[in-house]
Amino acid sequence: MAVAGVSYAMGPMGGQCDMSGGMSGRQGMQQSRSGKMDPARMQARMAQRHAVLKTQLKLTADQEAAWTTFDAAHKVPGMMNKQRPDRAEMAKLTTPERIDKMKAMRAEHQAEADKRADSTKAFYAVLNAEQKKVFDSFAMNGPGKSGRQGQGRS
């Protein structure tokens, strides 16, 4: 069960669910022609995914506050909106300085992932048994899907 919450907490890239025509994996990550991730498209996809989940969960009024917190924590990660490190600037740094810069960036990424994981656990705790089943299924397989999604099937 904890794995389901964490897999959902990984955000829009964590699973193979794609509601834009059945693509999965890298194709479902909403890349632009330049190969860069498009935060606006990713956010729209996440909003659509959350709308489906919220409908399927049939939340009570008492659960709305927890949903709002969960939903807010799963907006496109702030790191997606930041520029990647400039290669020229990175080249000016010494190796230890580059290592420290990359370590700081990893720490930021981890803090954001921890925030999503914690919000998922808190939200999951307010769900009833039936809602937990829906959430677990949704987190592992995407909306309305079950099992493997065309992986090795003939």
Domain membership of residue 152 (yes or no) is no
**Looking at the domain assignment, is residue 24 inside a domain?**
no
Contact 70, 126 (CB under 8 A): no
Residue 23 lies in a domain: no
29-62 pLDDT, tens digit each: 444 455 566 777 888 888 899 999 999 999 999 9
- Report pLDDT for 119: 93
Residue 12 lies in a domain: yes
Higher-confidence residue of 59 and 16: namely 59
2: pLDDT strictly greater than 80? no
27 domain-assigned: no
pLDDT exceeds 90 at position 149: no
| pLDDT for the residue 78 | 60
Does residue 28 belong to any structural domain of this protein? no
Domain-located, residue 149 = no
> Which residues span the domain enclosing 129?
2-17+36-141
Q: 62 lies in a domain?
A: yes
pLDDT over 70 percentage in the chain: 62
Count of structural domains within the chain? 1
